[in-house]
Structure formats: structure tokens, C-alpha cells
Amino acid sequence: MAGSYPVGQALYLVVMGPAGSGKSTLSSAFGRWIEEQQGFSVAYVNLDPGAEQTPYAPDVDVRKYVRVRDVMRERGLGPNGALIVSMELLYRRREEIMVEVDNLDADFVIVDTPGQMELFVFHETGPAFSREFAKRGAACALMLFDASLAARPSELVTLKLMGLVAQLRLDLPTVVALNKSDLEQSRAVSRWLEDPRALVEDLSRERGVVSELAAQMAALLDEYSVASRIPMISALRGEGLDELYDLIHEVWCTCGDLT
């Protein structure tokens, strides 16, 4: 796959996911992997105003404009209230932030987002930034989950569904990936990822309305998701990144103008 990029435009990857799923660790590990294995330049954008530290050196950092800690202190708010206000402030300052993004000179731009994923996805800030990235080049989103969240087959379906919800909100092709494959509790899901028929069979053994709904959802999701494959990765060990890269490349080629 090496040599397919660059194509004269930057490629934006927006990394989303629940708190602690490994977004920042992956942003750093994947960026390094792309530079070392594919030979392309990578820039990092930190869109998380609540980050205490990041495992990469951000080239654009929204904490220059807004910090959740400062908003808490100045307005006497708790962490969630302060994050909502921070999102609002980021929204208002997005033009200045995008000027900084425009000054980046990189083949790939990896965008790390806040842990409170629902705020990023459902507040207007997430879709607004996504639109800005999509205007500038090929953009796609990566929805990262801790693989231990998919211990039961119906749980895997709900994670895929969340990926689709994010895709609808952000209007970006969205790839779902499961992280922390190195942990023992992440193992159960591998079987369903490797063999979709096993997922359908195991779903039928799960009891209750949820599993019936999940079985119907599974078929629908395969139809509407841009990528039905879900890579298992370990951001910590740098495993599965080649599969993730190939999948993202496919999505860019299918949805963008890359050929």
C-alpha cells in the first residue's frame, strides 16, 4: 500500500471514542507507524480541551484557546458543565483554529478528540470541525472502543450502531476499531469479528428482546456502514495498525476522489 499517498491533498483522520478507549495512545502510535512504515509526514491536532497531557507533540492544540480546568475555576463549574462551555468556546473560535490547521504541512493530519464522545458528536462543535476537515481534503472518522465492551454478541452490535450514529452526525465515513487486543478480557470478540456467521449464531442464543433487535440491526448495519470489517488493535503494542491503515485507505478510496 506504500506509495499510494500523498495525492496532493491532506488526509484527515478524526479519532473518536469513549473516555479511556485509547484515542490519544492510538493517535500517537498510528502517527508514528505511518511515518515509519509508510514514509509519509504526519501532523497532530489536539481537539481535547480537557487533556492533561498527550503522548504526541500536538502541532495544533486547542488548549491554547480553551482549557476545561480554567473554565471550571473561572466559572465555578464541575467537569461536565465546564466541558459543555468549553465546546461552545471551541465552536466560536473554530476559524482561528482552522487557520492553524491550514498552515500545517503534512500528508496526514490525525485529530484527537475529547473523551466525552457524546459531547463531541452531539454538540454542534464536532460536526462543525468535521465539515471543515472535509472541505480541505479527504476526511474520515475512526470510532475506537475498548474491546472488553463487546463481551456479548449484542454488545458488539451496539458498538457498530454507535459508529453509524457518529457517521450520521459528523457526516464523515466512519471506521469502527476495537482497542486493547492485548488484554485477556478482549479475546471473546475475536471470534465474531473473524466469522460473521458465528456472530449471527451466537446472537440467536442470547436471550431477550435486545438480542432479537441486535440480530436485525446487524444486517442493517452491514448495509449502511462504510466498512463492515472491524480491526482489533493494540495501540499500546502497535499491533493491528497495518489492518487499520488498509481499511482507512479503502474508505478514503471509496468515499473520496482517491483512486
- Helices H / strands E in the chain, number of each: 11, 6
Q: Which set of grid coordinates corresponds to residue 179?
A: 482497542
Residue number with CB closer to Mg ion (58 or 240): 58
Residue 93 CA from chain centroid, whole number = 22
Shortest Cβ contact with Mg ion: which residue?
Answer: 24
Site for ligand GTP in 182-211 (CB under 6 A): 182-183
Q: 209 Cβ partners below 8 Å, 6+ apart?
A: none
Strand partners, 139: 12
Q: Which residues bind Mg ion (CB under 5 A)?
A: 23-24
Residue number with CB closer to ligand GTP (115 or 126): 115
Q: In this chain, which of 31, 115, 126, 240 binds ligand GTP, going by CB under 6 A?
A: 115
Q: Is 17 in the site for ligand GTP (CB under 6 A)?
A: yes
Q: How far is the CB of 15 from Mg ion (least distance, A)?
A: 9
One-letter amino acid for residue 87 of the chain: M
Among candidate residues 9, 5, 219, the one with its CA nearest the CA of residue 105:
9
Q: 79 Cβ partners below 8 Å, 6+ apart?
A: 50, 68, 72
Q: Is 22 in the site for ligand GTP (CB under 6 A)?
A: yes
Site for ligand GTP in 28-57 (CB under 6 A): 48
Q: In this chain, which of 154, 167, 174, 234 binds ligand GTP, going by CB under 6 A?
A: 234
Residues that bind ligand GTP (CB under 6 A): 17, 19-25, 48, 115, 179-180, 182-183, 234-236
